Amino acid sequence: MPDNRPTVSPWSILLDNAKMAAMYALGVLLVAGVWWLLGALYLAYCFFSLWLYIRLICPSCLCYHTATCRSGYHVFAQRYPPADAAVFARRFKRHVVWLYPVWFVPPLAAIYLFLTAFSWGTVILLALFSLVSFVLLPYISRAHSCKTCANVANCPIRLGRPGVKDHAGE
């Protein structure tokens, strides 16, 4: 790769990863409220699903090929062989499901806690988790990460949104 490629600022990497770290931490607190070992397993799954994302999806992303991932994942993904960028949307749709439990296990743990041992602390944790995971994280992604992403036109999440055309230019 050429040495004059655009660089990704540490601020960008910090912002993009801080939202995920906050979601993971709040999720761990909620799940650990059921049983501390489940909290540890949830955290291990968070890292496992992130590794799967980096391993299975990143090598086909245009940001992988240009080393401009705003999350900094391209640094870790370079360990894996590159894949054709034309298959990004298909790979993303197929493998993003590994991330879903990270979003939905903590609210299920909160429901269990509401039914077995209601506390206002659980209400606050669930509200914070929901705010970070379902409001703040998507907002920061759209306004920061996706806004200047080289792969935005090929992204299955962004396709069909106003101002975004698919990779075929349709």
Q: What is the pLDDT of residues 79-102, one digit of tens each?
A: 999 998 888 888 988 999 999 999
Q: List % helix, strand, coil for the chain (3-state, nearest 5).
A: 70, 0, 30
Note whether residue 72 is domain-resident: yes
Note whether residue 161 is domain-resident: no
The total number of residues written for the chain in this structure: 170
Note whether residue 164 is domain-resident: no
Show the domain range for 29.
21-154
Residue 170 has pLDDT above 70, yes or no: no
pLDDT-derived band at 168 (thresholds 50, 70, 90) equals very low
- The first and second tokens of residue 117, run together, are 């041992």
> How many domains does the structure of the chain reveal?
1
Cβ neighbours for 42, distance < 8 A, ≥ 6 positions apart? 27, 28, 31, 32, 105, 106
Residue 34 has pLDDT above 50, yes or no: yes
Q: How high is the pLDDT of residue 20?
A: 94
Q: How high is the pLDDT of residue 6?
A: 61
Of 35-44, 129-138, 152-161, which gets the smallest average pLDDT? 152-161
pLDDT-derived band at 10 (thresholds 50, 70, 90) equals confident
Note whether residue 14 is domain-resident: no
Note whether residue 1 is domain-resident: no
Q: How high is the pLDDT of residue 143?
A: 81
Mean pLDDT of the chain: 86
Q: Evaluate the CA torsion angle 55, 71, 131, 117 in order and state its sign.
A: positive
